[in-house]
Amino acid sequence: MNVITVDDYRSTYWPKLESAIDQLLTQSPGEYIPISYEQIYSCVYKCVCQQHSEQMYSDLMRKIACHLERVSQDLQVSSPAHYIEKFNLALGQYMGALQSIVPLFIYMNKFYIETKLNRDLKDDLIQLFTDHVADKHIYSLMPLLLQAQSTPFQVTPSTMASIVKGLYTLRPEWVQLAPTLFSKFIPNILPPAIESELQDYAAQDMKLQQELMQNGFTRRRIDLQWCNIMW
C-alpha cells in the first residue's frame, strides 16, 4: 500500500469522503445515491491503515455538526403548522443517513473510536443530533405535540409515533416532559398505577401540559425574533 501523506489525505481522500457524506445526509427516503460504497469503504480502510483515523474522525464530526446546525436553523424559521412534519423529516432523514454512514466508517470505528476513545460511532453521531437539533427545539416541539395529541387528524399517528420514539432514543429522560404522551408509544415506561391515583396523574399531566405550552411558545417566539434579527 502506498504511503498516504497528510496532503494526500486532504487533497484526495477526504474530499471523496466529504462528497459521499453530503449526498447521504441530504438524500430523500428511497432515493438512489450514485456513489461507490466500495470506493468509500476502501478510502476509509486505507486512511485507517495509514494512521489518519484521528483526523478523519475529527473531520467527520465537524462536517456532520455543520450540517445539523443548518438543519436547526431551518427548523427555527418553520411555521407552527409545518414544524412537527419538518422535525420528523429531519430526524428520519438523519437516522436513515446513519444507516449508511456508520457501516462505511466501520474500520475507523473498530480500530480508533472503540479502541482509543472507548466509544461507538453511531452513539457519537446520534449525540450530535441531540446536541445540535433536538436540545434546541424540544421546548418548541413538545407543546405542539401535546396540542396535536388533543386535535384529531392534525398529525398522523405514524408521524407522532416516529417523533416520540425518536425523542426517547435521543434522550430517555424527556419522558418526564410528557409521560402520558410517551406512554402511548413506548411500553412500560410508567409505573403501575392503582385506581385511586389515576385522577392525580391526570391532574399532574394537565398541569405539566399547560406549563409546557406556555414555556414552549414563549421560547419559540424568542427564537423566531432572534432569527428575524439575524436575517
Domain-embedded: residue 193 = no
For the domain that residue 203 is a member of, what is the CATH number?
Answer: 1.20.1310.10
Mind giving me the DSSP string for 153-185? TSS-HHHHHHHHHHHHHH-GGGGGG-HHHHHTT
Q: Which range, of 111-125, 135-149, 216-230, averages the lowest pLDDT?
A: 216-230
**Measured distance CA(12)–CA(39) in Å, rounded:** 12
- Residue 132 pLDDT > 70: yes
For residue 14, what are the contacts with CB-CB under 8 A and spacing of at least 6?
Answer: 56, 59
**Measured distance CA(72)–CA(230) in Å, rounded:** 14
- How many structural domains does the chain have? 1
The fraction of the chain above a pLDDT of 70, given in percent, is: 82
**Measured distance CA(16)–CA(41) in Å, rounded:** 11
Domain-embedded: residue 1 = no
pTM (predicted TM-score): 0.82
Domain that holds residue 208: 6-186+198-230
Which pLDDT belongs to residue 95?
A: 95
Give the count of beta carbons closer than 10 Å to the beta carbon of residue 81.
9
- Residue 223 pLDDT > 60: no
Domain-embedded: residue 192 = no
Could you report the per-residue pLDDT of 48-76, keeping only the tens digit for each? 999 999 999 999 999 999 999 999 999 99
Domain-embedded: residue 191 = no
Which pLDDT belongs to residue 110?
A: 97
Q: Average pLDDT for residues 9-21, to the nearest whole number? A: 97
- Residue 229 pLDDT > 50: no
- Helix, strand, coil percentages in the chain from 3-state DSSP, rounded to 5: 80, 0, 20
- Residue 194 pLDDT > 80: no
Look up cell 385511586; give the residue: 196
